[in-house]
Structure 1
Amino acid sequence: MKPAVAIVEPETPGNIGTIARAMKNFGMDDLKLVNPPEIERDGDAYGFAAQARNDVLPNYDEVSFDELVENYHTVGMTATTNEDASRHVRFPFTTPRQLADSLAEVETETVLIFGREANGLTNDELARVDEVCSIPASAEYPALNLGQAATVTLYELRDLTVEECQLPDVERERANEAEIEGFYETFADLLESSGHPEEKRPKAMRMIRRIIGRAHPTGREITTLRGIVRRANQRTEASDVRRTTCNDR
């Protein structure tokens, strides 16, 4: 079930548009605003919303915090703190990834509640929500801005909200063994023509096999690599011929 997204007392219309856009990116459409600023059609909210200006943003509901608590399973979004089990305002918390896993197991009307740009949700507000969710970040600077926090969170929940994510059309089939063995043969030729110490060549070949084996290259990739190594081998051999010719004079 797709969660709703609520923003409590947002100060900057542009952040509302940014979050609406992130909702559109990751398949969500139910936006709630608690005491929002004026949202103008030609202002920053619509400017930052991109395609979400056509559906997510104009269809937002203005609600109170009480309404969220009374009608939804509430998840308060907050920065991590140094609190521990002795205090339960912001602890324990789940990460967005853990939240996605837990919501996948239940059917309940959920709302993700994001706080104010300057100071987030108050302790009183956090005390009223059902659970707290935080994004792990550097202890030196754990606070993300509002738009970043919402985008990261909604991305982690995408499996709940997007039936099929759009992925780039990339060739993923591994090159066949004949192509890969051909590359090894060309590489072995380069070791010989470049004067790599003969006693070290078996070790070098094992190393390159391990590297290529871990990489699982595509046919195009191994063909390109083989072409580069072949060209290097040709240059090495041509250089040897020139040196031999000069020495014979």
Structure 2
Amino acid sequence: MSEAPAVAVVDAQTPGNVGTIARAMKNFGFSELLLVDPPELDRDGEAYGYAGQAREDVLPNATEIAFDDLVSGYHTVGLTATTNQNATSHVRYPFSTPAELAEELETVNAPTCLVFGREDNGMTNEELARLDEICAIPASKEYPVLNLGQAATITLYEFRNLAISDTQLPDVERDRASEAEIERLYDQFEDLLAGIGHPEEKRAKSGRMFRRLIGRAHPTDREAVTLLGIVRRATESINRKTESVSQDRD
């Protein structure tokens, strides 16, 4: 990976948690902090009080961003609590642990962002459905809930090899397709589902399955372009046949 992942916090409720995350970022070599609908960060308040040395660079350089722009501009990894969902439910499944995902991302050359949700209930299912991968921290079944600061610190520690400059990186990097190209592939897949008459109530779930599949595959630009072309031609062929049948009936 050529650049350390960015870190995003969605709708943080308290400034102190933003400061805690900034401090963890500083500890483990991360610098790009993105904030979606953040609270006010007063330089004399909790955020800067909890940030430690991150008050000098990470926190004041934080960028406010819309969730839509986050999704379209980065390969997104949503951080969430471990759930009991399985292969029949795709909103929070499948997920990787931070250690597993850190090893995988070492070979991915793409702008990546680790996305943390709200203190009380994380991210909504609708938000998670738009992210590319899910990451969860294994914890005791008796009490698996971590607060936001704990989750961020554990995760960023596991991802430190992607951020600390003197870490030896693999010689081979995966030439991942651009996020714009991959988003076009997702859009075309939606058109294909409509063209083949896939049940409308099942399209969102099928779209999530496809997004998670591509998210784990990290296709190259050539692979994404080729797959996009195949899906587009299939959609166009189906639409032509549908129009032909309609004209014959008329």
TM above 0.5, one fold? Answer: yes
Secondary structure in structure 2 of the residue aligned to 1:128: coil
- Unaligned 5+ runs, structure 1: 166-249
* Larger RCO, structure (CA 8 Å, separation 6 or more): 2
TM alignment of 1:100-179, pairs within 5 A: 100-164=102-166
Letter in 2 for 1:6: A
The match for 1:46 among 13, 28, 48 is 48
Question: Cα RMSD between the aligned structures?
Answer: 0.9
| Residue 139 of structure 1, CA deviation | 1.1
AA at the equivalent of 2:143: Y
Choose the corresponding residue for 1:64, options 50, 63, 66. Answer: 66
Amino acid at match of 1:48: Y
One-letter identity of the residue aligned with 1:87: S
* CA distance in structure 2 between the partners assigned to 1:151 and 1:25 by the alignment: 9
TM value normalised by structure 1: 0.65
Matches within 5 A, 1:180-195: none
Give 1:148's aligned amino acid. Q
1:15 pairs with one of 17, 31, 34: 17
Q: CA deviation at 1:86?
A: 0.5
**SS of residue matched to 2:107:** coil
The higher radius of gyration belongs to: 1
Aligned partner of 2:189 in structure 1 is none
Offset, 1:163: 3.0
- Structure 2 gaps of 5+ residues are 168-250
The equivalences for 1:214-225 within 5 A come to none
| Alpha-carbon distance in 1 for matches of 2:11, 2:93 | 23
Aligned partner of 1:106: which letter?
Answer: V
- Deviation of 1:164 (Å): 4.1
Whole-angstrom distance in 1 between the partners of 2:121 and 2:77: 17
Residue 188 of structure 1 is matched in structure 2 by none
Aligned length: 165
C-alpha distance after superposition, 1:25-82 (max 9, x if no partner): 0000000000011110100000000100000000000001101001000000000011
Structure 2 length normalisation: TM-score? 0.65
Mapping for residues 79-90 of structure 1, pairs under 5 Å: 79-90=81-92
